[in-house]
Amino acid sequence: MRHLMGEQLVSPSSSKVEGSSPSLGILALIFLIGGLLLLTICLVILAFTFWKHIKQLVMKKTVKLENAAQASDIFSGNLRTICYFNYRTLKRATGNFNPENQLGSGGFGPVFKGVLGDRRMIAVKKLALEKSQQGETEFLAEVRMITSIQHKSLVRLLGCCSDGTERLLVYEYMTNGSLDAIIYGRRDQFLNWKIRFQIILGVARGLQYLHEDSHLRIVHRDIKASNILLNEKFQPKIGDFGLARFFPEDQAYLSTTFAGTLGYTAPEYAIRGELSVKADIYSFGVLVLEIISCRKNTDLTLPTEMQYLPEYAWKLYERSKTVDIVDPRLWADGTMEKDVLQVINLALLCLQQYPSLRPPMSEIVAMLMSKAQMVGTPVRPTFLGRKGQNDEDVSWEAISEIFPSPLAIDSPSFPQT
């Protein structure tokens, strides 16, 4: 009986132990899988953090060039180190990109004034990727150009930021902003002839460096008043290199799609996409007329004859009334007529129809500094999209026919943008 009872007492206990074994195994398996998942997540987070840290260190040391197929040989070894800024630092410096701190807007995004923790003033260009499918390309182009060239008449790049979809460029802050705010009348500020001439000469020197003295031959492609920045002494610096292009010395021109600002654009580039340094020289001529007249190159609120500044300047030149284009305040300030008319004549030389007739920037600088005589009489420019003498519309095709390319058709072309 005891033996039987013992079996009966033991038997239930044994069945419980045997029944619980599968439950414990499943529980252990769940804990094991959960632990592995947690470990995997921790490793992924750690790897991502490490990768982001390494990325920042690499960019802080130097900005690596992408799309190097165009210029790997030329740019090799020519980069200077720039600072990598944290996005949160720039966001804080600009007051979360407060519209009140906006200095202006370039072709690919607005520019904001900022103050760093050490009280340094900076200008931050925030690239608007949603506005352009080539936004990142433009960002890399601007970094590539500015880090490769240095001159006192070119805006200085302090650093950049690439954080997710955000692309930002950090420039030195220019106290007096962009030239267009002054000459277009948005700021009530008078520039005497000494300052205007200083600006003209400074821009000319900057272009001479880009075209002739730099280790790269560069066409800016967007020389205009809003891209000329002024420091506290009104010394000019050329900015916004997002559209700039370079090409080897042995090429006469680049065949490329049009990019730039109409009104400043050379006709051979606007019509046929033939880009050379002479396109910048044409734009420089338009800019000089704007500085002297203190008005926009195109103003449809004016009488028809005066709406397009280069055309109006040429008509006054033909009538020997060039002085009529000059800002009247310059005469009231005692400016010498001879000095102004010489510079206007130089501007008209820059606007001539054929690129080969436009003087190179080195000659322009020499003429401005009176180290070379003003040579030749300007040839009538070609005016795009204007009415003919019989008040008939002149089509682009018609202009192209009367404005044949002086360049060889089989001239080698650079890879297109």
Residue 299: exposure state from Cβ atoms within 10 A (0-12, 13-18, ≥19): middle
Q: In angstroms, rounded to a whole number, what is the distance separating the alpha carbons of residues 259 and 238?
A: 17
Cα dist from 122 to 90, 115, 118, 133, 146, whole Å: 9, 6, 11, 27, 16
Please tell me the distance from the alpha carbon of residue 146 to that of residue 58, in angstroms, as a whole number. Answer: 19
- Where does residue 109 fall: left (phi above 0), alpha (psi -120 to 50 degrees), or beta otherwise? left
Q: Determine the distance from the C-alpha atom of residue 252 to the mean position of all C-alpha atoms in its chain, rounded to a whole number.
A: 24
204 by DSSP, 3-state: which? helix
Q: Given 73, 163, 213, 222, which residue is catalytic?
A: 222
Residue 222 among the catalytic residues: yes
CA distance 176 to 121: 13
- Measure CA 154 to chain center: 12
Residue numbers annotated as active site: 222
